């Protein structure tokens, strides 16, 4: 069994995964949303301090579970400690690495330092011993920090096809929510406001619409939302709930249209290289986006794979599933504070 630790941003999470069949045996998580909501986004120093408080609490829960399996020697079945060490916030990654080093050293177990984004890909295969890659797997990763199109041939060959030039899909939802004083995290809040509106939409630009590059950009759309908010405010201090709903619906429509426009180009250019298509990351929980991608996959004859909603956001279960692959390949890491705010050059093949 492998203990996995996730602390790349604002979610503290531990999991226990059985190596033989990649079965998730235990998973626990503590969210920090309520602590960051007053600020409209993640405050790194607060996140780091909360990880220092929460991770030991989660370890106690995990230890109690291990005792139910083996009361006399709860840690005896463990074969490795896995931890996210990139990409993410340095001050929060350090908290997870500190615990991972302590456990690996005290239990004399090998350490697996893993890429958080690869973990998101493997959220598609939790509880599944074999990855459903088929003749190739296309992946859309949409989260608070990343928007990427990836192509996976196998564990060792994952190509970065496209990414955002500025803000991410999830980050743009957070910033729109902040501009409208709706709270954090912005994804579900903006989506819920958008669902309230059934009338006409405001004219919002679809980014890079006439640009042939496979790339994303959300900064211009974010600015368009800002201008609509200014117009809606007029001389008043507050915006009506109706206006907020219309702005959210208009923004969400344009943001999803942007994602789908570039995905269509990807399907047209590289559709012959993959049979399955996965959608991962915290922002992949957006219902409108999921529905549109499902239709696109049907149009192009691709098999859509979606991560369970509970494993879309950051979690240790996906790190544990990735860790099973790394363990079988003996990709062990030395003890130390080996963290990086970005992916390493060897993590992905770049087109």
**Helix (H) and strand (E) counts in the chain:** 10, 11
pLDDT value of position 280: 97
The structure's pTM equals 0.94
CATH domain 137-306 topology: Nucleotidyltransferase; domain 5 (3.30.420)
Choose among 258, 282, 253: nearest CA to 174: 282
pLDDT value of position 46: 97
What order of strands is seen across the sheet that includes strand 276-280?
303-306, 276-280, 137-142, 147-154, 157-163, 349-350
C-alpha separations of 86 from 103, 122, 182, 337, 342 in Å: 19, 15, 30, 11, 6
185 prior amide bond cis, ω within 30: yes
Q: How many CB atoms lie within 10 A of CB 43?
A: 16
> Do the two domains 2-126+313-341 and 137-306 of this chain adopt the same fold?
yes
Reduced to 3 states (helix: H, G, I; strand: E, B; else coil), residue 145 is: coil
Write the secondary structure of 66-120 as one string of H (helix), E (strand) and C (coil). Answer: HHHHCCCCCCCCCCEEEEEEECCCHHHHHHHHHHHHHHHHHHCCCEEEEEHHHHH
The domain over range 2-126+313-341 is classified in CATH as 3.40.50.720? no
Q: Which helix (H) or strand (E) holds 157?
A: strand 157-163
pLDDT value of position 235: 63
Mean pLDDT, consecutive 10-residue segments, the chain of 351 residues?
97 97 97 92 95 98 96 96 97 97 97 97 94 90 94 95 95 96 94 96 95 94 95 81 96 98 97 95 94 97 94 96 97 91 93 79
C-alpha separations of 299 from 8, 203, 255, 264, 292 in Å: 36, 27, 21, 10, 11
Q: Where are the domains of the chain?
A: 2-126+313-341, 137-306
pLDDT value of position 200: 95
Q: How many CB atoms lie within 10 A of CB 346?
A: 7
């Amino acid at each position: 069994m492998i203990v996995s630790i996730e602390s790349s941003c604002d979610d503290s999470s531990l999991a226990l995964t059985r190596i033989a069949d990649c079965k998730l045996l235990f998973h626990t998580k503590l969210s920090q949303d309520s602590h960051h909501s007053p600020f409209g986004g993640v405050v790194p120093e607060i996140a780091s301090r909360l990880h220092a408080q929460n991770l030991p609490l989660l370890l106690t829960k995990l230890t109690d579970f291990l005792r139910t399996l083996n009361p006399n020697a709860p840690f005896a079945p463990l074969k490795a400690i896995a931890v996210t060490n990139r990409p993410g916030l340095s001050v929060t990654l350090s908290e997870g690495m500190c615990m991972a080093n302590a456990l690996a050293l005290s239990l004399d177990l090998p350490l697996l330092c893993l890429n958080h984004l690869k973990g998101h890909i493997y959220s598609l295969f939790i509880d599944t011993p074999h990855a459903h890659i088929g003749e190739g797997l296309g992946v859309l990763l949409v989260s608070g920090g990343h928007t990427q199109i990836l192509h996976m041939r196998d564990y060792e060959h994952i190509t970065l096809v496209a990414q955002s030039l500025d803000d991410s899909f999830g980050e743009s939802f957070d910033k729109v929510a902040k501009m409208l004083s709706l709270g954090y995290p912005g994804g579900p809040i903006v989506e819920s406001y958008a669902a309230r509106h059934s009338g006409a939409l405001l004219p919002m630009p679809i980014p890079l619409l006439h640009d042939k590059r496979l790339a994303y950009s959300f900064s211009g759309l974010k600015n368009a939302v800002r201008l609509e908010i200014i117009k809606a405010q007029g001389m008043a201090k507050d915006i009506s709930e109706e206006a907020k709903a219309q702005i959210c619906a208009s923004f969400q429509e344009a943001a999803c249209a942007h994602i789908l426009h570039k995905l269509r180009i990807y399907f047209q250019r590289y559709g012959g290289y993959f049979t399955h298509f996965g959608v991962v990351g915290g922002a992949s929980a957006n219902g409108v986006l999921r529905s549109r991608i499902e239709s696109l996959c049907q149009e192009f004859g691709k098999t859509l794979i979606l991560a369970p909603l509970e494993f879309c956001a950051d979690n240790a279960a996906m790190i544990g599933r990735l860790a099973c692959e790394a363990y079988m390949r003996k990709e062990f890491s030395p003890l130390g504070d080996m963290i990086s705010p970005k992916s390493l050059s060897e993590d992905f093949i770049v087109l």
